[in-house]
Structure 1
Amino acid sequence: MKSILATSSAILIAVATTQAATVIVNQGDPNSNTHTNHAGPIYGQSITTHASAQQVLDVTFQIRDGSGGQAANDTLAYLHIYDSVTFNTADGSITAFGNLVGISTNTQNIGANATDLSAVQWNFSNTAVAANTEYYFITSTSTNAGQDIVSSGYELVTGNPYADGRSFASNNFFNTSAAWDLNFSASFDTEAIPEPSSTALLGLAGLALIMRRRK
């Protein structure tokens, strides 16, 4: 019965390692040493999730090349995720936030002393998101929902817009310009539903263990 037990363990391992995958959403390259354009102050970027996105892993923006637009001095900011925002179309100011879906586990320096063209990555833990939904990734110096929103200067991609989101500038919070998006990348962890064949193999593995115990 040793061979049956060994085979069952191998099946269990094989099934477990095929249920998770990472989906990367990119607009430009936030790790590059060159720039296409830059602007500030900007509060963040909206991103639409993948069809099977379940957990946010990380989001990366790129600090602008050159002074201007950054928050003063060293400014340590979290990255908030909201499921909606309301803004004043006259002046671009935020009038209301939707649900706070998640807050990064770390802060990043987005102030004037931040290194030019540096990639600033925010990490998330246990932050679930719905599929095919636009979320709003906005920087803040606070862990409180809708408070202490702070802007910075970022590298932008122009002429090749990200179809599923938009950048947020202080003078036009909900930026509808087709040519402006942050240089960003985002990672989402997905959970695949086991195929019937995988479920059957798991059942066989459990049956083999039960039979071994009875022997």
Structure 2
Amino acid sequence: MALKFQLNLQSVTAQWLICSLLAVTAIFAYQAKPWLAFALLPEPMTQSQLKQANDFEAKHPEAAQLIHAYLGIRALMAEENVLLEQHAAWDDQDRDDGWADATEYLLAHLAVTTTNNELRILDSECRNTLCQVKLMAPTPLTKEFTAKILDYAKVLKAGELEYADLETLQGAVLLKLKANKRYKFDDATTADLWPAEREQWEQELKTWYTK
């Protein structure tokens, strides 16, 4: 038990030392090549690492604005990723009306033109980045009919709708698709994730990354 505790302690200590080393390296890399600091800076920072960064900013005030811009953007990106995970499932997605209406029309049109009207859509629905198409199908599903569905899915891929899954139902199949589009949040969430200062931060970082 004592040995196990010692090993765990050593592991934690090693991780802390690595994080500290990265933080110090990031701070001093700024002097050689500014963008290296932002690539190496660990997040979240410990109190010790934060103090080192603050001390460095005090000595090099010109770096403060860039470090704040980097951390600000990373914080917003992390917040967006959390929200995307919460809306990854079908039942958790709202409808992006404009995109969904247009895509549902496209699904119906291509079902006719791609397969010479051999696929019959019973129902289709799109939400924000996901679509589901219910197609009439034989039970059990034959290889020939499966091939037609896959041909349909290949054409949809050109319209930036990726095949996700095919669920077999009684007398039908449910084709599940994922769109290659950015998730559209409501206005309030969008304003939180893309505040006015974010554009300024991104421009500041682009300027420094090209140095």
On whether the aligned pair clears a TM of 0.5, the verdict is: no
**RCO (CA 8 Å, sep 6+): is it higher in 1 or 2?**
1
TM-score by length of 1: 0.30
Query: Larger strand proportion, structure 1 or 2?
Result: 1
Larger radius of gyration: 2
